[in-house]
Chains A and B, each alone.
Chain A
C-alpha cells in the first residue's frame, strides 16, 4: 500500500477523481471502491456520499455493497495484515492456537488493529492451500506449515 492507512485527513479530491475516472456509471461501483481501498487502505465513510453522487445511486446502496463483501473495510487497517486461516484442515492442525498466540503476542483480538496502526489481525474461512495447513497469510504472502515456534520467531523478528 502506497499511503499510510493512518492518515487522519482524507484526500476527498482524490476520491472524487477516482469516481470520475470510472466514468460515473453505476456498474462501476465495485471497481471504484476497490480502487479507493487500494489507495487508502479502507473506504473512509466520508467517501460514501461522494461515490453515491458520482455514480447516481443512493448512499445506502453504496453502504449495502461495501458491507456485503468481506474484502471491503470501513475502518483503517494496519500496515501489515495478518490473516489466520480457519478452514477445516488448518483448524485440525492447530490453527486455533496460532490465532491465540498472535492475539496474545500483538495484544489485539481478531478483527482489531494495533494502536500504532502496524498490524491488523484477521481470519479467513479457507485460502485453498490445505496441503500446507496450518496457514497464516501476511500481506500477500502465504506462510504454510506454521507452528508455534515459527510464530514466535516471526513475532520476535517484528515481522508479525
Chain B
C-alpha cells in the first residue's frame, strides 16, 4: 500500500517559516516606527532656539520661548501646552502658523536616543520592516506563475476580517495624525532625517517622511507585483512604470530641486488632482523662480489642459491612472491585495457618479476663483477664495484622498479615492467615455459568467455584465489595470486601442447569442 502520493509537493514547512519570520520582522519594524513617537525627550537649548529662526523668522516670537529654554521635557503634551501658552498668549497667531511653529519646535528640540542614534532607529524600524516585507513577498516565487488567488476569500486581512479592520484602523489613525497632528509624529519624522539630510541637505518634514514611506511602499509592493504577475508582460511593464514615476518624479526630482533651493514640483502631478497649482502662493513662487519657475508654470498648464486629454484620447485614462499617477501607483502595489473589496453593485455606481463629478465641479469652481483672485489681486472674491481653498484642502485633499483614499484600502478596496473622489480621474473619465481609442473588447461568446473579472475589478465595474452580453466595455471609471483580462479563465477580455467610432460594437439584439443567427 503506498504511503505517500507520488509527485505531491505541499508548501514546504520552511517556506511557511520564512513567511512568519518576514511577518514578524515587518511587525517589529512597524512597531518600533510607531513606538518611537513615545520616546519623548525634548530640550530647547539656546543653539536650538537659534536654529528655529529658519522656521520662526520673527525673533520676538522666538524670544517668547525663553522660559522653557534649557528645560528638559519627557512628555510631549506638557511641552506642547507650554508652547501654546507661551507663544500665543493673545491668540494673535493663526492656527495654521501655530501648527508649523509647534511642529518645528518639537522636531528641533527632540533629543535623546532618536537624535543620538538616528541610524540605529532607522535601521531597526524602516530597514527591518522592508526586509521583513521582502522576505514575505519573495516566498511568492514558490508558487507557479499564473493567477493564484487561492484563499483570498478566507483571509482575514484581505476580506475585512479582524486583521483587515485593525490594519484599516492603523492606516486611518496614521493619516489623521499625519495631516492634522504632525507634532505627535516628530520622532517618526526624525527617523528619516539621515535620508533627508543626505538627499536634500535639510531635516525631514512630515511630507518628506510620508513621501519616503510612500515610495518604499510602492517599490516593495511593486516587487510583489513583479512576482505575482511574472507571467504577464503587461503587468510587469506597468508596475515598472508606476515605480519609476513614483521614485523619480514624485520623490527624487522634487528632493533634488529642494536641495538646489529651486522651486519644487512633481512634474507628473496634473491639475485638478494637484489642486494647489493655481493658488496665488504657488503662482507667485513659480514666477519668482526664474526660468525654471516659468517652465514649471508652462508645463503644468500644458500637462493638464493638453497632454492629459490628448494622451487619454490615444491610450485611455490608464496612461495616467495605472501607469504614472502616485495615488494609482500606491493602489496598484500596496493596494493590490484589497482589490476584491470594491463594491460592484449598481447602487455603488450611482454613488460613484454623484460623488466624483461633484468633486470635479468643486475643484473647477475653486480653480476659477483662484485664477480670478490672482488676476484681480483679490478684488473680486477676496477672502472667499482662501476659505474655499481651505475647505477643499481639508475635506477633499486630506480627508478624502488621504484618510479615506488610503486608510480604507482594507475596508473598501484600493481605489476608493480614484473611484469616488479624484477630479482628474473624473476629467479623464469624460474623455475616455466619449472620445478615446481605448476599449476592453469581449471575445465572441466565450464568457462563462464566472465573475472573476468583476470580483477583481478595483474600480467596482461589473465587467461580467458586459462580457456575458458580448458587449465591449467602455466605462468612464476604468483605469486599465488589465487585471480583468488577466484573471479571466477563458481569455475573454482584452484591453485594446481602436477607432473611437467602432468601440461600442453592440452585437445585434444586444446579445452575443445572436452570433448563431448569422449562420
Q: Does A pair with B?
A: no
Q: Which residues of B contact A (CB under 8 A)?
A: none
Q: Which residues of A contact B (CB under 8 A)?
A: none
